[in-house]
């Protein structure tokens, strides 16, 4: 996925005319140094571009307008080297549609005790200039990220890197189209939601298709293309039974993969859903195809779950190039042995191999429900490490994102369950985490990632303006319930007539 290639963050420095040309020249020089440092920081995956120092309301409004209209610009980093009276910023910030990170830093790391004089004080005013700018943001109820610390500080760079990944994911939502084959599965509630509200709040659009449209695409595939893809499977995966490479079931799986990929590419879709209930004309449930497309960066939700599909696409954008993987996931079954409580996460087939700790095995087995032919799938287990589960639900008046960090642990062999799977211990423990998750209405489907942690999803959720609730080590259930009650009130008031 070459997602970050063209994206830019604009580094914007605020000042004013009061100090004279000499100070402004120095402000510009220092800003260029910081911009260059951020641009070269390996952790920040996008370009950081210096913009002229802003000293007037017109210049600020003009810059914000340019940022709004420039596709490549995915956000602004603002810095107040000197004092920059914030009334100048109000009109610009009111019009800004791009995310903003207020970098509360100062050029010098240490106070030069021996040399410090009034000239130094006139130039290096971040400590109070940043607060004035902060007031304007708070007065405008502006959603923004504040990062405090010296600009060479590793933690600051990491926070900016995380925010910039979230900003790219936000930009991606604005052009994200989701193909939805069939409707919702049976009477499942949590996978439903208001697609118009989702577009208003979360930008992406969901487009419905009959599964026949996909079948038609699959029927147009040449035998040669199918043969080539199967030989790729043979090279990429462990195939214990080489006979399956000649099986008609695998040919059908390859045909579905090519058809699905063609359909998605032609329509400009970066995410999709299928439903097990509606496979008319498809010989098998798309399993292998879904796994491989997810590994390429497509979002996916089973059973018509477009919210999870969109979330996974955004998580994949944020995680692009990081160690670890991201997948569609489902809480499948529990291990409730005292002291060793854990969740087995899996799905019928559709788990992304990017989270695998081993080379996947290619296998074909019956599904035991659905009455279709035996589907091909990749079988593997996720390796131990840290991960996170995220879920977005529609509460009628708002979208809520739930976050729960987990520790992936070694999964015993399950010779009779040939699906991709993950075994994890949720934080703080299964009992508390599952109780809180259920109280907050979290879905059984999640976006699961071993590449991201909650900081990425917080930045992303904040940019979308949705509710975020953490289920983590320090959770106290009674306080958590109160938080949900207060949030109900806040979002009700905030929603107003919308
Ligand atoms: Mn499911």
Ligand 1 geometric centre to CA of 471 (Å): 22
pLDDT in tens, 114-139: 999 999 998 999 999 999 999 999 99
pLDDT of residue 377: 96
Closest C-alpha among 272, 299, 491 to residue 395: 491
Which pLDDT value is given to residue 297? Answer: 97
For 364, the 3-state DSSP assignment is strand
230 CA distance to ligand 1 middle (Å):
27
Q: How far is the CA of 330 from the centre of ligand 1 (A)?
A: 6
| Cα 71 to middle of ligand 1, angstroms | 36
> Does 87 have pLDDT greater than 90?
yes
Number of H helices, E strands in the chain: 15, 18
Compute, in angstroms, the gap from residue 302 CA to the centroid of ligand 1: 6
CA of 20 to the centre of ligand 1 (A): 64
The alpha carbon of 174 and the centre of ligand 1 are apart by a number of angstroms equal to: 27
Domain range annotation of the chain:
2-172, 177-494
Task: Report how far ligand 1's centroid is from the alpha carbon of 450 (Å).
Answer: 20
Q: What is the dihedral of CA 217, 218, 222, 225, to 10 degrees?
A: 110
Q: How far is the CA of 281 from the centre of ligand 1 (A)?
A: 21
Going from the Cα of 460 to the center of ligand 1, the distance in angstroms, rounded, reads: 25
Strands (E), 33-94: 47-50, 73-80
pLDDT digit string, tens, across residues 163-201 = 999 999 999 999 999 999 999 888 999 999 999 999 999
> Of 305, 258, 254, nearest to 284 (Cα)?
254
Residues 6+ apart with CB under 8 A from 343: 331, 332, 333, 334, 335, 406, 423, 424, 425, 426, 430, 434
Q: How many Å lie between the centroid of ligand 1 and the Cα of residue 469?
A: 22
Q: Tell me: the pLDDT tens digits for 338-370?
A: 999 999 999 989 999 999 988 999 999 988 776
- Separation of 297 CA from ligand 1 center, angstroms? 20
Strands 205-209 and 177-181, bridge-based pairing? parallel
Task: Say what the pLDDT of residue 1 is.
Answer: 57
Ligand 1 centroid, distance to 332 Cα (angstroms): 9
Task: Give tens-digit pLDDT for 4-32.
Answer: 878 999 999 999 988 889 999 999 999 99
CATH topology of domain 2-172: Rossmann fold (3.40.50)
Using the mean position of ligand 1's atoms as its centre, give its distance from the Cα of residue 451 in Å: 22
Question: What's the 446 CA to ligand 1 centre distance in angstroms?
Answer: 10
* Confidence at 498, pLDDT banded by 50, 70, 90: low
Tell me how far the alpha carbon of residue 276 lies from the centroid of ligand 1, in angstroms: 9
Cα 466 to ligand 1 centre (Å) = 24
The 3-class secondary structure across 169-201, one letter per residue, is HHHHHCCCEEEEECCCCCCCCCCCCCHHHHHHH
- Ligand 1 center to 182 CA (angstroms): 15
Ligand 1 midpoint to CA 188 (Å): 10
**Alpha-carbon distance 4 to 8, whole Å?**
9
Summarize the confidence of residues 308-334 as an average pLDDT.
97
d(CA 328, ligand 1 centre) in Å = 9
> Alpha-carbon distance 407 to 385, whole Å?
6
| Ligand 1 center from residue 274 Cα (angstroms) | 11
Closest-CA residue to 271 (of 319, 304, 226, 225): 304
C-alpha distances in angstroms, 336 versus 176, 329, 341, 342, 426? 40, 20, 5, 7, 13
SS3 content of the chain, % helix, strand, coil (to 5): 40, 20, 35
Q: How far is the CA of 356 from the centre of ligand 1 (A)?
A: 19
In this prediction, residues 395-415 reach a mean pLDDT of 96
What is the Å distance from ligand 1's center to 304 Cα?
Answer: 9
Percent residues over pLDDT 70 in the chain: 99
Reported as a pLDDT band with limits 50, 70 and 90, residue 406 is very high
- CA–centroid distance, 326 to ligand 1, in Å, is 16
Distance CA 69, CA 372 (A): 50
Q: How far is the CA of 204 from the centre of ligand 1 (A)?
A: 22
Average pLDDT, the chain: 95
């Amino acid at each position: 996925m070459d997602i970050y290639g063209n994206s830019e963050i604009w580094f914007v420095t605020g000042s004013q005319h009061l100090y004279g040309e000499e100070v402004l020249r120095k402000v510009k020089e220092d800003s260029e140094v910081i911009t260059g440092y951020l641009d070269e920081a390996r952790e920040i995956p996008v370009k950081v571009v210096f913009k002229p120092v802003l000293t007037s309301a017109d210049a600020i409004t003009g810059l914000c307008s340019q940022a709004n209209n420039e596709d490549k610009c995915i956000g602004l980093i603002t810095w107040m080297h000197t004092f920059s009276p914030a009334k100048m910023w109000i009109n610009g910030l009111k019009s800004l549609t791009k995310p903003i990170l207020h970098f509360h830093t100062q050029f010098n790391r240490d106070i030069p005790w021996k040399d410090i004089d009034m000239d130094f004080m006139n130039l290096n005013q971040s400590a109070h200039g940043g607060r004035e700018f902060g007031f304007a943001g708070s007065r405008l109820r502006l959603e923004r990220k504040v990062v405090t610390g010296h600009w060479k500080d590793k933690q600051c760079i990491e926070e900016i890197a995380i925010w910039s990944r979230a900003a790219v994911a936000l930009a991606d939502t604005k052009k994200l189209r989701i193909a939805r084959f069939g409707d919702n599965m049976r009477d499942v509630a949590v996978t439903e939601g208001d697609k118009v509200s989702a577009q208003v709040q979360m930008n992406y659009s969901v487009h419905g298709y009959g599964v026949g449209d996909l079948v038609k695409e699959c029927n147009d595939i040449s035998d040669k293309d199918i043969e080539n893809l199967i030989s790729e499977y043979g090279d990429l995966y462990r195939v214990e039974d080489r006979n399956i490479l000649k099986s008609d079931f695998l040919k059908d799986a390859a045909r579905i993969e090519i058809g699905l990929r063609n359909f998605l590419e032609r329509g400009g879709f970066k995410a999709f859903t299928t439903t097990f209930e509606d496979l008319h004309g498809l010989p098998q449930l798309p399993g292998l195809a879904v796994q491989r497309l997810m590994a390429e960066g497509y979002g996916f939700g089973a059973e018509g779950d477009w919210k999870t599909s969109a979330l996974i696409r955004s998580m994949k954008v944020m995680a692009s190039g990081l160690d670890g993987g991201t997948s569609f996931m489902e809480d499948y079954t529990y291990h409730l042995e005292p002291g060793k409580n854990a969740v087995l996460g899996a799905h019928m087939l559709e788990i992304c191999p990017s989270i695998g700790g081993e080379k996947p095995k290619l296998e074909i087995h019956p599904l035991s429900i659905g009455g279709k032919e035996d589907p091909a799938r990749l079988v593997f287990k996720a390796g131990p490490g840290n991960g996170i589960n995220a879920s977005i639900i529609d509460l009628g008046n708002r979208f809520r994102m739930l976050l729960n960090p987990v520790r992936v642990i070694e999964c015993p062999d399950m010779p009779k369950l040939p699906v991709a799977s993950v075994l994890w211990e949720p934080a703080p423990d299964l009992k508390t985490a599952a109780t809180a998750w259920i109280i907050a209405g979290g879905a059984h489907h999640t976006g699961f990632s071993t590449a991201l942690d909650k900081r990425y999803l917080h930045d992303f959720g904040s940019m979308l303006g949705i509710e975020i609730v953490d289920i983590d080590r320090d959770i106290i259930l009674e306080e958590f319930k109160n938080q949900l009650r207060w949030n109900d009130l806040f979002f009700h008031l905030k929603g107003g007539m919308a």
